[in-house]
Structure 1
Amino acid sequence: MKQNILFDLDDTLIYCNKYFNLVSDQFADMMTDWFSPFGVTREELASKHLEIDIAGVKIHGFKSDHFPQSFVETYRYYSKLTGRSMSPKEEKLLWELGMSVYDHEVEPYPAMNETLDSLVQDGHQLHLYTGGDIAVQQRKIERMNLERYFQDRIYIRMHKNTDALKGILNDGRFDKNHTWMIGNSLRTDVLPALECGLHAIYLKREDEWKFNILNVDTPPRGALLTLTELADVPPAIDEYLVKAKEPGV
């Protein structure tokens, strides 16, 4: 039976976290040069930045300027803590470093096209549900030519949570018994899917962003699968659908 399959974008279909980690490492190096003479360690700087970054995401969502602003706020925090003079030039440098994360090339995960092709050929309808600024996310979608799979079924939200997913499902009149959410985030993909009564596939990634990790206690109404490779998605869905047809299941 045809399924509605919602895919997350960042770190599900395309690489994302590794670029943020790269820029965050550059930020930590720069801040260490400035603040290590005051007894502040690189580990402390990185930990405080992560704390500020996650706190901001919970309030503002995935606004593109939040990430560079988290650099500036961390800089101001340690400047006040240590008494080191703040410099507009240094703040500008940090802001530009933070914004540079959006300049990286868009890189698909292995077997992205093959996976999407397989699902389309099996008769499923694909949807793309991603969090972030419309301009930033649309650029990624266009670079990967993803409209050929998702057409007008693309949903970009600043806040990616249960309420946002409910709105999409209600507007599209989805049959929840035949709808899947696939993504790398337990917080913004898996938990909302389960709370909405959908099937869910957790695409587990290495070095996951701490914001995406939490305990999921909501029992699934249908499938809850954990995979590590995108190419395993089509056979996993097929296997579940076959088992669901078996007597007594």
Structure 2
Amino acid sequence: MKSPTPNGIAVTHARDWIIGFDADDTLWHNERFFRITQDRFAALLADHCAPDHLAERLLAAERRNLGHYGYGIKGFMLSMIETALEVTGGDLPGHVVAEILAAGQEMLAHPIDLLPHAREAVEAMAAQAHIVLITKGDLLDQERKLAQSGIGDLFDGVEIVSEKTAPVYARIFAGHAQAMMIGNSLKSDVLPALEAGAWGVHVPHEMTWDLEHALAPKDHPRFREIADLGSLPALLASLP
């Protein structure tokens, strides 16, 4: 990683842009591992609950528990256990708990698989602007993924936050004339960044968690959408 200044961002570029990148499902695959584990969870509890209903119960538990556990795999594991207790009436076999824990541990050890054009886009932005990774979730897991991604050294700074809000983006982007946030989540990456005065760039991913869905602000003057990160350099060049 580039040497930071006291505020955590290295001043090495002529243009006064700061560009934030989301991590999960923007730079590397993430949600697909949750989907695989959720299918495994449904198979474990097939005798107690239909898959669609189980998915609804699990999503409700995740929504309910965000304030307690935050985002990430560990909270997902606890929500699965809670949901399993609910649908079995508290009569949850120990081997099912062991399977859930094993599935979560496998998720925590999964290798990092960069999305198409991720490295090239980060390299291109690093040559023109201050770039920072802005992600939420479990601290240790996010640090592990960044370390294994092979692109960590390209960032001027890393922010692992409990929630992505307008004040969080305003703090990170403070002192720069122009700012941009890039991510697959309209709810977390785009809308609060726009509220903070930055550009919001949506890069849709085929698998986005239900709790990250929101309506695209198509009429907002600082909103843009690109098909993949390969279009990012041209987008930046087109902006005023």
Q: Same fold (TM over 0.5)?
A: yes
2:149 to 144, 148, 152: 144
Match of 2:228 in 1: 229
Distance 1:60 1:166, change over 3 A: farther
Match of 1:103 in 2: 109
Match of 2:4 in 1: none
Shift of 1:143: 0.7
Q: Is the 8 A contact 1:202 1:226 kept in 2?
A: yes
Match of 1:20 in 2: 34
Does residue 160 of structure 1 match 2:169?
no
Does residue 94 of structure 1 match 2:100?
yes
Match of 2:124 in 1: 118
For 2:218 and 2:232, locate their aligned partners in 1 and report how far apart those are by CA, in whole Å. 22
Larger radius of gyration: 1
Shift of 1:3: 1.6
Shift of 1:108: 0.2
Does residue 199 of structure 1 match 2:199?
yes
Please list every run of 5 or more consecutive structure 1 residues that lacks an aligned counterpart in the other structure.
Answer: 245-249
What does the per-residue CA deviation read over 1:170-228, in whole Å, with 9 as the maximum and x for residues that have no partner? xxx332x41100011111111110110111101111132111102356974x5210112
Please provide the CA RMSD for this pair: 2.1
Q: Is the 8 A contact 1:115 1:231 kept in 2?
A: yes
Alignment TM-score, normalising by the size of structure 2:
0.86
Match of 2:185 in 1: 185
For 1:125 and 1:168, locate their aligned partners in 2 and report how far apart those are by CA, in whole Å. 11
Please list every run of 5 or more consecutive structure 2 residues that lacks an aligned counterpart in the other structure.
Answer: 1-14
For 1:28, give the aligned amino acid.
A
Shift of 1:168: 2.5
Q: Is the 8 A contact 1:199 1:224 kept in 2?
A: yes
Q: Is the 8 A contact 2:186 2:214 kept in 1?
A: yes
For 1:89, give the aligned amino acid.
H
Q: Is the 8 A contact 1:194 1:218 kept in 2?
A: no
Shift of 1:59: 4.7
For 1:21, give the aligned amino acid.
R
Distance 1:72 1:43, change over 3 A: same
Percent identity, please: 23
Match of 1:247 in 2: none
For 2:209, give the aligned amino acid.
W
For 1:135 and 1:70, locate their aligned partners in 2 and report how far apart those are by CA, in whole Å. 19
Match of 1:66 in 2: 75
For 2:137, give the aligned amino acid.
G
Secondary structure of residue in 2 paired with 1:65: helix
Distance 1:230 1:65, change over 3 A: same
More relative contact order, 1 or 2 (CA 8 Å, 6+ apart): 2
What does the per-residue CA deviation read over 1:20-47, in whole Å, with 9 as the maximum and x for residues that have no partner? 1111111111111x31xxxx31211122
Shift of 1:56: 1.9
